[in-house]
Amino acid sequence: MELVALQGLNFVYISLTLALVALGLAVVFGLLGVMNMAHGEFVMLGAYSVLVVQNAGLPLLAALPLALAVCAAVGWLLEYFVIRHLYRRPFDTLLATWGLAILMREIVEAVFGRDYKSVNQSLPGTVEVFGAVYPAYRVVLMALMVAFFAGLFLWYRRSNTGARIKAMVSNPALATAVGVNTAVLARGAFIFGVCMAGLAGVALAPLVRVEPYMGIDYLLSSFFILVVGGLGSLVGLLVGSTVIGGSDAIVSAITSKTGGYMTVLVISILFLWLRPNGIVARD
């Protein structure tokens, strides 16, 4: 029973964190068609923000505004100088952002050094949930993520921005004609996307390794989630995270972690091949 509860909590946790990490990429890839290879590097920026806050002796929450400010600034720079020139050239954005990812890594390495940094647990210790001993920080984080996704879902459904973004995606020329400023909207969407990546970095920093090369992990898993879940819908994002996180967890539990990893790869390939629009197709 205890093991079942533990595995169940792990399953929910991995699905939520994967969705959180992939959210930014889903916005940028799904709405703008930009395969942002520097996505993981924004997660890294978020994590280093926590480190800066910690070294300055400030509370962990101070990292949130810092991470958002840093990611927004860097995101604006990238969009203005690079991305906006390449919106209609998907392969070129992929290559350019790949180069930018290297740049961001090297800059962080130059500032903070190559070594591993340890971010303190702000909520150390464990609590018992359904008979399973579980890290307290994770439990709080899971509750926050559920609330966050619910809020995001409602906002996107209700707000005008959501409609305008949908309009821009489905018909850029028409959107411009009816007065939607697509350039501003695109920049906004890109900055929002990378800020979400930074947010994920803040949330995960106390749990993971923090170093300049940490981004690549998040990039790849995010791509797989988008592939399975489909682009352009929040539900798809959550479904994709559940499928990827779940199949990895289940196969890893039964066989080995290598088996789980290869299963994720095979599932991704099958989805790309047979259901390129994902489980939840774009509406």
Binding flag, residue 111, another protein (CB under 8 A): no
Residue 94 binds another protein, judged by CB under 8 A: yes
Question: Is residue 48 close enough to count as binding another protein by CB under 8 A?
Answer: no
Identify which of 223, 219, 196, 18 has the alpha carbon closest to the alpha carbon of residue 102: 219
Segment interacting with another protein (CB under 8 A) among 157-165, 169-177, 204-212, 233-241: 204-212
Structure tokens at 31: 């709405």
Q: At a CB cut-off of 8 Å and minimum separation 6, what does 186 contact? A: 32, 79, 84, 87, 168
Residue closer to another protein (CB basis): 68 or 97: 97
User: Of residues 55, 121, 170, 181, which one binds another protein by CB under 8 A?
Assistant: 121
Cα–Cα separations (whole angstroms), residue 215 to 105, 158, 236, 259: 9, 33, 23, 23
Question: Does residue number 181 form part of the binding site for another protein (CB under 8 A)?
Answer: no
Q: Does 61 bind another protein (CB under 8 A)?
A: no
**Does 131 participate in binding another protein (rule CB under 8 A)?**
no
- For another protein, the binding residue among 58, 80, 124, 147 (CB under 8 A) is 124
135 near another protein (CB under 8 A): yes
Q: Does 274 bind another protein (CB under 8 A)?
A: yes
User: CB-based contacts of 24: which residues, under 8 Å, 6+ apart?
Assistant: 39, 42, 192, 193, 194, 195, 196, 197, 198, 200, 222
Binding positions for another protein, 148-177, rule CB under 8 A: none
CA distance 251 to 260: 5
Q: Considering the rule CB under 8 A, would residue 87 count as an interface residue with another protein?
A: no
Structure tokens at 236: 């798809």
Cα(180)–Cα(238) distance, integer angstroms: 29
Q: How far is the CB of 181 from another protein (least distance, A)?
A: 23
Interacting residues with another protein between 18 and 47 (CB under 8 A): 35
Least distance to another protein from the beta carbon of 253, Å?
Answer: 5
* Strand, helix or coil for residue 250: helix
Touching another protein, residues 229-248 (CB under 8 A): 248
Does 59 bind another protein (CB under 8 A)? Our answer is no
CB 272 within 8 A of CB 227: yes
Q: How far apart are CA 206 and CA 135, in angstroms?
A: 11
Judged by beta carbon, residue 153 or residue 172, the one nearer another protein is 172
